Every structure is written in structure tokens, then in C-alpha cells.
Amino acid sequence: MDWRIGMGMCSVGFLGCAQTNWPSDIRTLGPEASASPVAAVVPANPVVLPPKLDVTPDRAKWSGTWSGFACQGRVCDTKLVVERVTNDDATIIYAFASGSVNQYATRMQANFSGAELRGVLMNGTTITYRMRETGDVEFLYYRSDSDQVWGVLSKWR
């Protein structure tokens, strides 16, 4: 497994801070288990800290763990762990794997932009999450218009 520490920041003037252009079919996808032959793995015993009292409910709901699928045919497995959340940002673990992609996990800083939680991997790829009213989370991996995958995650553990 490839375990890396990455940082992703969204600041004034950063092109990636515009609202995300989500795939048109993302809202039609329901949460399902992945069909990946390889499971995404997060480090043993991640620490999910309870949000501090000054964190608003719309941010505090992000505290926790999610698991789900990505890629056409649900052939990719992905997990999200939000270890710490504030009103502006969060420390997350992003994990991903499939039959053609080695297990990968990274701890990174992600920032809130409106209703989205967004981080940037060390290779420049943007990882964006958007929570549905049900608590399920939509996921978009965006490297370029021709290199993107998306899916849906549900509460895990």
C-alpha cells in the first residue's frame, strides 16, 4: 500500500476554488458497495475527533467515516475518514483501490467551499466531496476533463 501525507489548500485566486462541475449523472447514483476485487485500506485505527462546540452543525456532520464505490461499473473502492473538522477545513484520509490501481491512502488537509469539501493530492488531482441530505457523500476525483471518476459513499463503521 502506498501511504503518503499530502496537503491541499484552496486560497483566493486558486483556479480550483470555483464551484465544482459535477458529472450530470451523479445524483442518479445510489450508495452501493464497490465491486472492486481490491479494498481501499485506511491506516489502522484512525482517530476521529469529535467536533469542537463552535463547529456549526453543517460542518460537524462531516466528522466520521464513509465507504463506497467509484468508476464505471463500481469497480473502484474508496473510503473517506474525516478525523478533524472545523468551520473552515478538515483533516481527512482519502483511500482508493481497484483491480488496476494499487491501494493508495493519504492524509491531507481539505477545505470547505460552500457545501463541498475539497483537497488536492500531491500530483495535483482534486478530490471533492459533497454530502447529500441523506448523509451519503458524493465523490469526484478530477485530474482533467479526460481523467475523472466519481461515485457515492455511505457511513461506515
pLDDT in tens, 106-138: 999 999 999 999 999 999 999 999 999 999 999
What are the cell numbers at 70? 467509484
Tell me the CA distances in angstroms from 8 to 37, 48, 69, 157, one per residue in order: 29, 19, 23, 26
- The answer to whether 48 and 63 are in contact (CB under 8 A) is yes
Query: Rounded to two decimals, what is the model's pTM?
Result: 0.87
CATH code for the domain defined by 2-11+21-155: 2.40.128
Evaluated on CA atoms 116, 121, 126, 131, the torsion sign reads: negative
